[in-house]
Amino acid sequence: MRLKDKVALVTGGAAGIGRATAERFIEEGAKVLIADVNEEQGKDAAGYLGPKAAFYSVDVSNKEAVQDAVNAIIKKFGRIDVLVNNAGILRDGLLVKVVNGSLIKEMPERDFDLVIAVNLKGAFNCTQAVAPVMIRQGGGVILNATSIVGLDGNMGQTNYVATKAGVIGMTKVWAREFGRFQIRVNAVAPGFTATEILASMPEKIIDKMRSKTPLGRLGKPRDIANAYLFLASEEASYITGAVLRVDGGIVVGT
């Protein structure tokens, strides 16, 4: 029971890695508040996870909505011990596509702006709302979802990689700013993980991902959840400002 009586807020907790993290935290004694824009999936997840889970409909890119949710959580539960900034989206595409010297396609500005708003600004909004709570209560843990592509880059993901590299930078800044308040800030960088997003990709792409992973398989959401659990627990009490790769040994592009 490594998180006994802790209160954890998991954004993007309705599905995939977020839902697995919520489940893992509950198994270890925490109360978990799932924040997500997908009300149907969020309510389903909270119902499945039982009385120690609750769902809040939140668009993390909306600062006011985030603050309202945090206020409601504090009013009901009195504290937030762990924040997992997991919410994220993809809008992949080449920056530009040129054929025979002619520009035929480029990444739409709206796709760049949307991914930045959710993945990067969302983490900013949630941390800015929760950090004062943790400071007042004397400590806490903030965990940010980055990615191996935020470290290594990846074709067709200018917007996504920019957000994940930005999250790594913010993690290191916040670890410095909040350390004196006994708030630890770390990031987890998953490799290719078998979530709903990956399930929609062609099988040949998934096979290629698997073949390039030294451990010979895709990650499971629970693999990533276990990393979040470790970093949230007292076992990681002297770890802050770190980026933990959970990737089966892959280096993107090799």
| Catalytic (active-site) positions | 160
Amino acid letter, residue 37: V
Could you tell me which of 78, 57, 75 has the C-alpha nearest to residue 66?
57
Sign for the CA dihedral angle at 185, 189, 194, 197 comes to positive
How many Cβ atoms are within 10 Å of 57's Cβ, its own excluded?
15
**Cβ-contact 82, 7 below 8 angstroms:** yes
Q: Is the dihedral of CA 72, 74, 78, 84 positive or negative?
A: positive
Tell me, what amino acid is at 111?
Answer: D
Distance in angstroms (rounded) separating the CA atoms of residues 186 and 139: 14
Q: Tell me whether strands 102-106 and 96-99 are parallel, antiparallel or unpaired.
A: antiparallel
